Amino acid sequence: MKYLSVKSSFALFAIVCALTFGQVAGAQTVKVDPDIPSYTKVTGVSGNIDSVGSDTMNNLMTFWCEGFAKFYPNVKCQIEGKGSSTAPPALIAGTSQFGPMSRMMKSKEVDAFEKVAGYKPTAVPTSIDALAVYVNKDNPTKCMSIKQVDAIFSKNRKCGGGSDINTWGAAGLGGDWAGKPISVYGRNSASGTYGYFKKKALCKGDYKDTVKEQPGSSAVVQGITEDLQGVGYSGIGYKTSGVKAIELAKSAEKGCFGPSLKNVVGGKYPLGRYLFLYVNKKPNETLDPLRLEFLKYILSKQGQKIVIKDGYLPLPAAKVSELRVLVGAK
Amino acid sequence: MPNLWKAGDAYIWISGLALMVTLVMIGGLLFLIATKGLGSMWPADIGRYELRDGSAYLGQLRARESVRGGDGVSGSEFRVKLKIGNRDIYGLDFKWINEGDVKSRDYPRDAVVLERHEWGDYHGYLKEIRKNGQVIPGTDPEAFSVLLGLIRDANRIHERILKIEKGEIGDINYGIEKQRLKLKGLAVRGEHNPAKEAEYRLKIKEYEGRYKTSEAKLEALYAELNRNEAVMLSAGGNEKTIPLGKIVMAHRPNSMGFVEKAGFYVKRFWGFVSDDPREANTEGGIFPAIFGTVLMVLIMSIVVMPFGIVAALYLREYARQGVMVRIVRICVNNLAGVPSIVFGVFGVGFFLYGIGGIIDSVFFKEALPSPTFGTGGILWASLTLALLTVPVVIVATEEGLAAVPRNIREGSLALGATKFETTWKVVIPSALPAILTGLILAVARATGEVAPLMITGVVKLAPDLPIDGHFPFLHLERKFMHLGFHIYDLGFQSPNAEAAKPMVFMTAFLLILIVVVLNITAIVIRNRLRKKYATSAV
């Protein structure tokens, strides 16, 4: 940045300021796309909604169910969330109607489903999550590149980092922080977040053995809240006042971007992902009214508003209208 | 000195000390849970913090700590954690503020806390009330009591809505579902019966007609609910219009006296115990979890008692004491030491998939592929726990039977009673206190279990209780909520970890309370029995 003139560096400063403020205000300025249709009630919907799957989407499903039940007072919801890997078996066995997953099904899981059902499951993206890398609120770290993240979490550094990072000094902090060891928090392997982070941030490498695997997304955040030297990953919806979501850079040259809607949709933030709802839908057949209406509700203004309430990011209108066709809502 | 050891005084001191340590630990645990949980519901004063950068917050002080320097060592400056509420405006309910950044702090008497149905608490000032198109300014001295009255009215409407939703519409949906299953049953059996089919369809039409009238009623109530509004001002000057139907409670902590606060506290506590959860369990009450826990323990007790007693009777009274019985006894004792999750896995494999699958394929064919009994439910969870606790009951009952004096049995036999009569009328009553001791232990263990329940039927949210007004009233196949799992869920899965933390402690407190209540009930019964059968040696 040496060759930048004073003026341009001021401009850069202004941009950075705008970005940071945009991010601070991010949680509240996110609005549902006004083109998404509002949900209207139909008659003849009743029964049980059984959902087994992602822990990340556990609360989202609960919120949706609460909202849906306001339209259809006696629709009952039973929601289990112990990790995305629990969704496919339950869908196959028929013990659930919806399989929330925070990652795509693996080809193995799709095959297992197809073997029983005779067709592939339908994946409906419901919302967007930015997987955030959290540090303690007192940690001065502002930004990390994916290479650095990889070197902190992975033992074989497949993303191409030069050397292992296990102190905050090696991660770029100076002063008293330089000598402090990094304490790493992560999720258990049943979690879709675990798989997604491994794929995207670790370039499919392996986690270090020192990663403290937590039973829930919220547990990761709470661990870092108490641990000054902690770092970990979780959905942006789990942010609290005790932690800080740092900015990430795809590579050192491309600049840092925080986990805001604009950055995720614009493809600048490297760890954005869809949150899926898998259903068992026979091709060329309409879903039963309960499941159809529930999906329509999620893909509506009210459903997407709930996405924001839980701290995640809503879908753009174009995507929603495409999905409404996919699930069979006129 | 050597005398002290020889006389044994030292041992008395050591055991006294050990007892004291245990008591202190139990007391400490209860104290910690009670203060962290019960304390959080107290309507704390709400401060207005004006910061040097011009922003202002209305918040309740939740924590204070010294700011850590770069080296992580605490410095001399402090910061405070405030519950600022207004999640829809600020994004988070909590905020850390350095005390150095605070320009001024005061406690305005007119600061209002609104507990809302959605988005958590709202902190702010009352600007005006819009009642039937008429505007009452917040400066009116009567404004707040008008607001309270209107909220009370709104809550009444809420109750009526709930009644219609759960009662009338619940019945209708239940009826429609039943007819639909009958229709599906015809198709599954390949029966062609147009008369019956038409009858079912007609019934569904009837129900749908009834639904329309209930729905119209509901719509009218909802309109009434959202007619009146409160216009609020946040500390930063943001205006927000809140329909009164979205408010649960309102209070002004800074202008409440101690007695008023205590009254409000009781109201809030009762709400926590008796309400359904809201907002993905982070708000509202935990009634379904309490209900589920108690019901599960009751079903478990009903199952475990006969099995445990009969097994113990056979082992002690009838079986020939030999190698075989000793092996069985060792096995029973070992069973008590098997980790609970192993029982859970057995429950899933045997009850859910095995027995449940068979029941479904025989009795609930028309509902397939969605399982009725072939999935987790309160019955399977209770049975799994019954398996888990049956060794405890067997061991305790056996001890009790062994302690019944021989001369009592012989007396009974000498009077001409058969062996069965002796056992049934003499031995068992004398051993009842011991049997109840076994039950107490079993209940205590079962109430605290979480791991096996997680896979046999407990879910995060199941506001429909396993008991309701529809035949057969007790719905054993339903999934349920449980206090132990609720603690886990709030603690590790909650989207709003900070807001849920006090609820973790509250829930833990209630769980302990329930164990204590169940145990005390059993102990009272046992003491009565002891008096009745005073000959018992136990």
Whole-number Å distance between alpha carbons of A156 and B203: 66
**Nearest CB neighbour to A95, from listed B164, B375, B461:** B375
Half-sphere CA count of A180, side-chain side, radius 13 A? 22
If you average pLDDT over every residue of chain A, what do you get? Answer: 82
| Residue B165 forms contact with A (CB below 8 Å) | yes
**Nearest chain B residue (CA) to A28:** B91
Residue-level pLDDT at A21 = 38
Which residues have a Cβ under 8 Å from the Cβ of B173 and sit 6 or more positions away? Answer: A46, A73, A74, A75
Which residue in A205, A209, A221, A316 sits closest to A261, CA to CA?
A316
* CATH superfamily for domain A130-272: Periplasmic binding protein-like II (3.40.190.10)
Half-sphere CA count of A260, side-chain side, radius 13 A? 20
Amino acid B234 reads: S
Which phi and psi (to 5°) does residue B480 adopt? -145, 170
A to B CB pairs, distance under 8 Å: 138
* B103 Cα to chain A: minimum distance (Å): 21
Distances (CA, A) of B35 to A159, B237, B256, B488: 49, 35, 21, 19
**Nearest CB neighbour to B460, from listed A79, A137, A180:** A79
Average pLDDT of span A54-66? 86
Whether the predicted interface score ipTM is above 0.85: no
Chain A residues with CB-CB distance to B225 below 8 A: none
**Nearest chain A residue (CA) to B376:** A95
| Residue B88 forms contact with A (CB below 8 Å) | yes
Residue-level pLDDT at B21 = 97
- For chain A, residues classed under CATH 3.40.190.10 are 47-129+274-327, 130-272
Q: Answer yes or no: are the C-beta atoms of B265 and B56 closer than 8 Å.
A: no
Q: What tokens appear for A209 in the block?
A: 């053995």
A53: phi > 0 → left, psi -120 to 50 → alpha, else beta; which?
Answer: left
Chain A residues with CB-CB distance to B119 below 8 A: 309
Chain B residues with CB-CB distance to A309 below 8 A: 118-119
**Nearest chain B residue (CA) to A86:** B455
Q: Give the SS3 label for residue A31.
A: coil
Cα-Cα-Cα-Cα dihedral sign, residues B317, B318, B320, B326: negative
Residue-level pLDDT at B266 = 93
Chain B, window 214-273: residues with a beta carbon less than 8 angstroms from a chain A beta carbon = 218
The full DSSP string for A242-253 is: TEEE-EEESSTT
Q: Answer yes or no: are the C-beta atoms of B495 and A59 closer than 8 Å.
A: yes
| Residue B374 forms contact with A (CB below 8 Å) | yes
- Is A176–B71 a contact, with Cβ atoms under 8 angstroms apart? yes
- The residue whose two tokens read 């049934």 is B424
Residue-level pLDDT at B120 = 84
Chain B, window 458-517: residues with a beta carbon less than 8 angstroms from a chain A beta carbon = 459-462, 464, 479, 491-498
Whole-number Å distance between alpha carbons of B147 and B252: 12
Q: What is the DSSP letter of B458?
A: B
Whole-number Å distance between alpha carbons of B439 and B380: 19
pLDDT digits 0-9 by tens, B150-180: 999 999 998 898 888 878 887 887 888 788 8
Q: Give the SS3 label for residue A308.
A: helix
* pLDDT surpasses 70 at A28: no
- Is B165–A74 a contact, with Cβ atoms under 8 angstroms apart? yes
**Number of Cβ within a 10 Å radius of residue A127:** 24
| Residue B368 forms contact with A (CB below 8 Å) | yes
**Nearest CB neighbour to A309, from listed B68, B119, B370:** B119
**Nearest CB neighbour to A59, from listed B81, B280, B374:** B280
Q: Answer yes or no: are the C-beta atoms of A235 and A193 closer than 8 Å.
A: yes
Beta strands, E only, chain A: 47-53, 75-81, 98-101, 122-136, 143-145, 183-187, 212-214, 230-235, 243-245, 247-249, 272-279
CATH, domain B287-532, list 3.30.70.1400, 3.40.50.300, 1.10.3720.10, 3.20.20.210: 1.10.3720.10
pTM of the model: 0.80
Residue-level pLDDT at A29 = 56
* B89 Cα to chain A: minimum distance (Å): 6
Whole-number Å distance between alpha carbons of A137 and A226: 10
* CATH superfamily for domain A47-129+274-327: Periplasmic binding protein-like II (3.40.190.10)
Beta strands, E only, B148-292: 229-233, 239-243, 247-251, 277-278, 283-284
Domain map of chain B by residue range? 287-532
Distances (CA, A) of A83 to A55, A64, A226, B349: 5, 18, 24, 20
What is the mean pLDDT, run by run of 10 residues, along chain B of 538 residues?
74 93 94 88 89 89 77 70 85 85 88 88 90 84 88 90 83 81 81 84 86 84 86 87 89 90 92 86 88 93 93 90 91 90 93 90 78 86 94 92 90 91 89 89 88 89 78 85 91 81 90 88 86 62
Q: Answer yes or no: are the C-beta atoms of A263 and A254 closer than 8 Å.
A: no
Helix (H) or strand (E) holding B300: helix B287-313
Which residue in B212, B205, B221 sits closest to B169, CA to CA?
B212
Residue-level pLDDT at A88 = 93
Q: Give the SS3 label for residue B117.
A: coil
Average pLDDT of span A68-95? 84
Q: What tokens appear for B476 in the block?
A: 């054993």
